[in-house]
Amino acid sequence: MKEDEPAGPKVEDLIAQAKMVLDFNWTGEYTRPGPRLYPHQWSWDSALIALGYARYAPDRAMRELSHLFDAQWKNGLLPQIVFNPDFAAYFPDASFWHADESPDAPTHLRTSGIVQPPVHATAVLALLRNAAEAPGVRSFCEKAFSRLVSWHDYLYRERDPGGENLVYIRHPWESGMDNSPMWDAILESMFLYPSDIPSYKRADTHFVSSEDRPESAAYDRFAYLVKLFAERNYDEARIREDCPFLVQDVLFNSLLCRAERDLAELARTLGEEPSAFEARARKTAEAINDKLWDGERGTYLGFDLVSGAHIKVLAAPNFVALYGEVPDRKRARAMLARLSSPSFSLTEGTGVPVTSYDRLGFGFSSVRYWRGPVWVNIDWFLMHGLRRYGYEDEADRLREAIVRLCREEGFYEYFDPTTGMGHGSDLFSWTAALLLDVVLEG
């Protein structure tokens, strides 16, 4: 075990605390991302949580992912939210989504009608790597394999109509980075009449300071997009015709690149054919490099398919291309230089690395969700990404930041990069799960 700073609880206590956070949020079928703010199952939260369970509780990992796969749509869509019927207070609730409008949606339980970034193959592979001998793991992975193939096929079939090997997302929630400044210009250009905005009542700002959460004008647009999908019965071709939010996002496509490679390795281990997944991973990496690289900023930028222009916003999630092993050495060096600048404080500069958005950026806020605060999942992706390119010191600096934040501030959803203070939901599951993955990694 790496020696960690002495301040705060010893590592053993920290591990015990993290496990208690996950126990606290465990519902018996899945783990809530946060105790009050997030009562249902969220897709990429569950995958990141399963990564943590894979280190010490493979049975929980399998039940977490099975509950999600059980809600998979017939066309392969892995839903962003699987609703727990016991919790109605959350907005938007199941009835708001009208997912039942789609012939593909499951009927035995209710889900939302969008997706989240694909880290599920990565979680299943971690299970196979860390707990291959545990009872039931092998057979679970074999069943999960076909679910994952159908999920990735859905993305390439439905979200890459031009065959560019880049998939689009159609709602800020699909990026997982709901109110990132990356979406500002698109949301600003979404001009709404009052009649466009479905009536709704937010629940989140009862649990957390509204300063920490997206602004109401953003929520109007989130709700508007959901209504647009439901009115088109979730028919992707019809949605694509006039959906104002269609983005080839860097994080989403980089994680898909990583997930395809992990799917190929799963295939090799399970005696399946890996080459198709390797080929798709290679083509996606090529497409990210050809279309999304921005030399001036030294990283990749998302592409807005509606306005036909790159999204000129410098945000940390775009560096997760390192985790997908997308850049060559030269570009990885440029990305490290940018991460090490005061914009993200990976090495020099003040504050906790890394800010989720350029500290000198026009839209920076040190407390408002994805507009600047530090997120453990982004640090985790970048830590692993930097290690793959041999940048051990920088990777260690992120590892220390994850441990120090959990030890000194607690298992919060995100953290103020200047003060370190925790914000958003407390007892946040993926913060605890990724801390466990880091500390138990040895």
Q: Which residues are annotated as a binding site?
A: 38, 42-45, 90, 116, 176, 213, 369-370
Task: Say which residues have a Cβ less than 8 Å from residue 13's Cβ, sequence separation at least 6.
Answer: none
190 touches a copy of itself by CB under 8 A: yes
Is 73 buried (19+), middle (13-18) or exposed (0-12) by CB count in 10 A?
buried
Q: How far are the Cα atoms of 355, 411, 423 from residue 420, in angstroms, in the given order?
A: 11, 12, 9
185 touches a copy of itself by CB under 8 A: yes
Distance CA 47, CA 222 (A): 24
Helices (H), 70-215: 94-97, 120-131, 137-158, 172-175, 184-189, 204-207
Bind-site residues for substrate: 38, 42-45, 90, 116, 176, 213, 369-370
337 touches a copy of itself by CB under 8 A: no
Please write down the HEC assignment for all residues of 359-392: CCCCCCCCCCCCCCCECHHHHHHHHHHHHHCCCH
CB 74 within 8 A of CB 104: yes
Is 398 buried (19+), middle (13-18) or exposed (0-12) by CB count in 10 A?
buried
Tell me if residue 204 is catalytic.
no
Among the listed ranges 41-49, 152-160, 181-189, 431-439, the one in contact with a copy of itself (CB under 8 A) is: 181-189
Return the residue of 360, 390, 392, 441 that touches a copy of itself, per CB under 8 A.
Answer: 360
Return the residue of 313, 336, 402, 435 that touches a copy of itself, per CB under 8 A.
Answer: 313
Closest CA to 109 of 87, 79, 76, 83: 83
Closest CA to 97 of 168, 173, 155: 173
Other CB atoms closer than 10 Å to residue 160's CB: what's the count?
17
In the region spanning residues 261 to 300, those forming contacts with a copy of itself, defined by CB under 8 A, are: 296-297
Tell me if residue 4 is catalytic.
no
Return the residue of 8, 106, 274, 363 that touches a copy of itself, per CB under 8 A.
Answer: 363
CB of 337 to a copy of itself, least distance (A): 11
181 touches a copy of itself by CB under 8 A: yes
Considering the candidates 59, 100, 178, 396, report the single residue annotated as catalytic. Answer: 178
Return the residue of 133, 163, 329, 362 that touches a copy of itself, per CB under 8 A.
Answer: 362
CB of 345 to a copy of itself, least distance (A): 12
Joined tokens for residue 261? 């490679």
220 touches a copy of itself by CB under 8 A: yes
CB of 190 to a copy of itself, least distance (A): 7
Which residues are catalytically annotated? 178, 413
Residues found near a copy of itself in the complex (CB under 8 A): 181, 184-185, 187-194, 197, 215, 217-218, 220-221, 296-297, 307, 309, 312-314, 341-342, 358, 360-364
